[in-house]
Chains A and B, each alone.
Chain A
Amino acid sequence: MVIPMSEVHTAVDKDTFPASQFEDAEQQYVTATLGMWSFLITEIMFIGAVFAAFFVYRFRWHEAFVHGAEELKWMLGTINTVVLLTSSYTMVLAVHAARHGAQKALVRWLVLTFILGCAFVAIKGTEYHIEYKEHLVPGLNYTEISHTGEVRPVQMKLFMGFYFAMTAVHALHMLVGLAVLGALIVFAKRGSFTAAYNNPIDMFGLYWHFVDLVWVFLFPTLYLLRH
């Protein structure tokens, strides 16, 4: 295959599909998929490290961590889980629509995913607000004695530290995801995605499902280990 010299100015031209470093769309799709999975692997190791730390301390300070789990709002957490699972469902339907070139359906499912994602963040914010009121936030207003007068085990501060760190990092990933999703909705409305070219939707779908996957493990770890 000969590339005409007229088309060869720089190593990679402005955005074309397939992009100029690729031979065909299939190669670009496989490359993008492997690239996104490689990124998700790094996220697995990133979150895995803090899970490992959490479990080390859970084994060590069992009482304090059980106490901490009981302080969390499991009802809000459950609602959030439902919301996030549903947003994952709508996202996979969006990917399905994109692959079949159904633009209106794609936009619809993407918007639904966005709304559900925002709902998740809003509920999380509410939870944080309640926890702030109850003086549970280390570094801000954590107190050894709760507002009801009971003495908190000393290492519960550690538990709350992990709780805020893990859920905040998760929420940050949600926010970044929502920002990208917003941009994708704009592009989808414009008709940028067809049955032939829908890699961004596909790859964003992988990312979104991964954020959901992390929550699937985060939720029982933090909220549900009450014994």
Chain B
Amino acid sequence: MSSIPYIPAIEVPLPADNYLTAGNSLKSWLLTKDHKRIAILYLIGITFFFFIGGIAATVIRIELLTPKRDFVSAEAYNRMFTIHGVVMVFLYLIPSIPATMGNFLVPLMIGARDLAFPRMNLASWYLFIGGGIFTTLAIILGGVDTGWTFYTPYSSVYSQTNVVLTVIGIFIAGFSSIFTGLNFIVTMHTMRCPGMWWSRMPLFCWSIYATSVIMLLATPVLAMTAVLLLIERAFNVPIFDPARGGDPVLFQHLFWFYSHPAVYIMVLPGMGVISELVACFARKRIYGYGLVAASSIAIAAISFLVWGHHMFVSGMSTYGGLIFSFLSFFVAVPSAIKVVNWIATLHKGSIVFTTPMLYAIAFIGLFVIGGLTGLFLATLATDVHLTDTYFIVAHFHYIMVGGTVTAFMGGIHFWFPKMFGRRYPEWAGRIAAGFIFFGFNLTFFPQFLLGYLGMPRRYAGYPEEFQVLNILSTAGASILAIGYLMPLVYLLWSMKYGKPAGPNPWLAMGMEWTVSSPPPAHNFHKVPVCREEAYAYFDMTPQGGNGPILKKLPGPGQKLERTEWSGT
């Protein structure tokens, strides 16, 4: 686009022989083993579920315009927020970045021809769709009203809604997650191309690796929790029913053992995307690469030690609460390390405000707000007052929407030319990004105030004094909805009518940008060899004279010395 100073407009035709044209039949798509096609299949699926979850959110926000329960009944409202949570978490957020961008990019970034287990990858997609079908069926048959957390004994004994169907859907979708994670871990261990040392892998791959570790270790516990819940409902075994000897807090332990690491499954890939975006659009290598990579692994490990902070008021022992609160403070540290490193990368970078960069900068700000409010919630004393209020709702939406969805949008815009070979209109991208940023903050910032003032979550009605903030929130939600609909329109349009992009429209570093856009079906014509560190950005500005930002570039055959490479 001529409006961006550094990136020349390139007019090249699409390569005739690419993964999109290799086979046009339905069978070639539904039985594909190509990780890129599977990524596109996932993209279709998660976009569909995003809008299902969005419809539920629309109903919620319309109901909350007025203090009385007048738009939907209380039972229907319960079903709405449950469906919103279940669909958004399990069918959109968990698969979003790993299954679309991870699937598409990880083999390309590490120089492999495909993932380690291509057929398992396809099976993952079918499991995702299968889980989605069960959940959609449950919605059509009337939904569930237990909340996405399925707390017992309501979900196991008293609820009269389609708990079994929904839980089966989640169980199946969980295996999709497990197989995806398994595939990524093994791929990164055994299929990196020659020269692609662990310390040269893009940070996106590191974050996908950390995400996959969590997927592998946490999801089975959710699966077993689902099985126990189903056994209780089907066979009347009082596993979680306190009236007959069970312990509902045990359900919460098992549920949150998965669901807390799950929130890191949602946010870590987003952080990986942001690393890629910031490096490319500041034209600089990520400051502190080693620390950022290590922090991804640290987040994955520590995330397993903190689940009790969702249960401070559940009846868990206070000493247990103290331990979990103490450990929860540690998990903020690696996230903070990442934020500091991104900001250090931006410092003295040559920043270009393309659409992906707008999303990246938005992410950094919104994630910081979400993360800092998490500290209030990690503190036992304040959490007792803030739990089950809108403060929690705002906190996790800042991370999940302000974080993950923003990163997802940024990544989709960044890699859209690579995936489809065409550019999208940059002006439309920036306008949509503006709508999303403004709409998001208008929706969720008032909710912090509402929560602090005491409005409980999951309530269809509320006291009069909260109405103004609720109206602001709903107004923001409508702007946000427009913001999300816009990319659907212009990206779909661009897939067919966008300007051909060429292999590297952003002048980015990374192995995925060395192949054509769209990539050939087999990724690389020859096995690539990696000869440079990640993010070896040159100063490509006319002023920089195409000289290296790196101090001393090695000649052919020479190895890049670490000491020469550190510093800007």
Contacts and interface: CB of A to CB of B under 8 A. Distances in A.
A–B contact at 8 Å CB threshold (below): yes
Interface of A: 1-3, 5, 8-12, 20-23, 27, 30-31, 34-35, 38-39, 41-50, 52-53, 56-57, 60-61, 64, 138-140, 154-155, 157-158, 160-162, 165, 169
29 contacts: A1-B527, A2-B525, A3-B526, A8-B525, A10-B522, A11-B34, A11-B35, A11-B113, A11-B114, A11-B118, A21-B191, A31-B116, A31-B190, A34-B190, A38-B181, A38-B185, A44-B220, A45-B217, A45-B220, A46-B221, A50-B224, A53-B239, A53-B254, A57-B246, A61-B245, A157-B237, A158-B244, A158-B245, A160-B237
Interface residues of B, number: 54
Most buried by B among A138, A139, A155, A161: A161
Contacts of B522: 3, 8, 10-11
Interface of B: 19, 22-23, 33-36, 112-118, 178, 181-182, 185-186, 189-191, 216-221, 223-225, 227-228, 231, 234-239, 244-247, 250, 253-254, 257, 521-523, 525-527
B300 to A, nearest CB: 14
B182 A11 contact: no
Given A21-B114, A60-B245, 14 more contacts: A3-B527, A9-B22, A11-B35, A11-B113, A38-B185, A41-B217, A42-B217, A45-B218, A52-B254, A61-B245, A139-B237, A160-B237, A161-B239, A169-B227
B318 to A, nearest CB: 18
A52 to B, nearest CB: 7
B250 A154 contact: no
A52 B181 CA distance: 24
B23 A10 contact: yes
A23 to B, nearest CB: 7
A46 B185 CA distance: 19
A11 B189 CA distance: 20
Contact of A21 (B36, B115, B238, B254): B115
Contacts of A1: 526-527
- State the main secondary structure of chain A at its contact with B: helix
Contacts of A138: 235-237
Given A11-B521, A12-B33, A21 B118 contact: yes
A60 B115 contact: no
A21 B523 CA distance: 11
Contacts of A39: 182
Contacts of B190: 27, 30-31, 34
A42 B220 contact: yes
A199 B223 CA distance: 28
Contacts of B236: 138-139
A154 B241 CA distance: 13
Given A11-B34, A21-B191, A34-B189, A46 B239 contact: no
A106 B112 CA distance: 35
Contact of B238 (A5, A12, A27, A158): A158
Given A8-B522, A11-B35, A12-B34, A50 B191 contact: no
B459 to A, nearest CB: 32
A181 B527 CA distance: 37
B233 to A, nearest CB: 10
B182 A35 contact: yes
A11 B239 CA distance: 48
Nearest to B34: A11
B182 A42 contact: yes
A78 B496 CA distance: 67
Contacts of A10: 22-23, 33-34, 521-522
A165 B245 contact: no
Contacts of A56: 247, 250
Contacts of B523: 11
B443 to A, nearest CB: 36
Contacts of B238: 157-158, 161
Contacts of B178: 42
A91 to B, nearest CB: 23
Contacts of B115: 21
Contacts of A23: 527
Contacts of B216: 38, 41-42
Contacts of B186: 31, 34-35, 38
A206 to B, nearest CB: 14
Contacts of A165: 227-228, 231, 237
Contacts of B237: 138-139, 157-158, 160-161, 165
B342 to A, nearest CB: 31
Contact of B526 (A2, A21, A35): A2
Contacts of B527: 1, 3, 23
A10 B157 CA distance: 51
A42 B235 contact: no
Contacts of A8: 521-522, 525
A21 B113 contact: yes
Q: Which 7 A-B pairs have the closest CB atoms?
A: A139-B235, A161-B237, A46-B220, A49-B224, A45-B220, A11-B34, A155-B245
Nearest to A5: B525
Contacts of B244: 154-155, 157-158
Contacts of A48: 221
Nearest to B36: A11
A21 B112 contact: yes
